[in-house]
Structure 1
């Protein structure tokens, strides 16, 4: 298909064309969360099947998206936005508290949001892998946002004398890899622990990075 079909204009049912289009786009994303995040998965879903699940036509699909990969890309961003919003809200609630409490709040909120729906876990950690170079770039870009958040928290803690003064970027990247792997394995039933225990372990790991053996307040 050369491009998207022409968009309708004008009001209908009290809504603008843009509002109706946004609603249809979200219906496709909601359907994709079910089909991509559960069964049959992204690689086995067709445009026709997704349109049927959304209660819309394939013509309306091509008004909103070019390809199914575009849907996966938008859904991956949406799921990550939900988790990021939850983490930042929790961080705002513990403003001014020590780094241990801040770390616990961030990862408790993130873990609770991501694992609240197994379909979100699959979209975040499974379905996006190996799809295309474009999707890998997007996955790494979103992962870099979490690395930036950890680095910012670590540097702020160091400035307050609560953590070692160092370049945290490599350590933060390694830690985010641990977070993703552990939450995926826990959600899949491969880790025999409660979610609180998983979060406690992640916080211990992060504090170990921030406060390595031999470090103490006043030391670099």
Structure 2
């Protein structure tokens, strides 16, 4: 299909066309979280099945999206946006805390958000993999945002004298891979630990990266 069908315009039932469109889109995304993040998964879902789960028609689907891949792309961005908002809100509240406490706040907020619904982890870390070059580019772009956040925190800590000054590009990339892998394994039941145990381990990993053996804070 070359493009979406045109949605109706005007007011109906006291709601504008834009409001109705937003509601339809929300229902499709909620249904996608259920099906893509659960059973049968993205690759086992059809437009008809998604429309049925949303309580809408396939015609209404094509008024909002061109393909199921478009839905997965939108849902992947939304899951990441929820986690990013949780982290940024937590960091704002942690302003001025010592480095170890600030790092703990950051990862507790991230871990609690992404693990609050196992379907979010499956969408972000499993279903998005290998779908298409377009979605791989999107996945890596979102991952780069998390890497940039860690680098910014590391650089700020180094400027305050709380961390070793160095280029954190590779370290931040490796660390984000560890975060994603550990949280996925924990949510799948492959790691016997509490979420607090997982967060504590991630905090230790990051602090070890920021404060390597032999480094000491500059004298004040």
Query: Does residue 22 of the first structure (1) align with residue 31 of the second (2)?
Result: no
1:1-220 matches, cutoff 5 A = 1-218=1-218
Task: Say which SS state the counterpart of residue 145 (structure 2) adopts.
Answer: helix
- Matched residue of 1:20: which SS? helix
**TM-superposed deviation, 1:171:** 0.2
**How far 1:126 moved relative to its partner?**
0.4
Distance 2:124 2:6 in 1: 32
Structure 1 residue ranges without an equivalent (≥5): none
Q: What is the distance in 1 between the residues matched to 2:205 and 2:2?
A: 50
- Alpha-carbon offset, residue 204 of structure 1: 0.2
Q: Structure 1: which 4+ aligned runs deviate by more than 6 Å?
A: none
1:7 shift after superposition: 2.0
TM-score by length of 1: 0.98
Q: Distance in 1 between matches of 2:100 and 2:140?
A: 27
Q: Gapped runs of 5+ residues in structure 2?
A: none
- Note if contact 2:2-2:66 (Cα within 8 Å) is conserved in structure 1: no
Q: Deviations over 1:52-101 (max 9, x none)?
A: 00000000000000000000000000111111111111111110111111
The answer as to whether partners of 2:9 and 2:17 remain within 8 angstroms in 1 is: yes
* Cα distance in 2 between the residues matched to 1:60 and 1:99: 50
Counting matched residue pairs gives 219
Give the secondary-structure state (helix, strand or coil) at the position aligned to 1:148: helix
**Aligned-residue RMSD, C-alpha:** 0.8
- Residue deviations 1:116-158, cap 9 Å, x none? 1110110011000010001111010000000000000000000
Instruction: Please report the TM-score for the alignment, with normalisation by the length of structure 2.
Output: 0.98
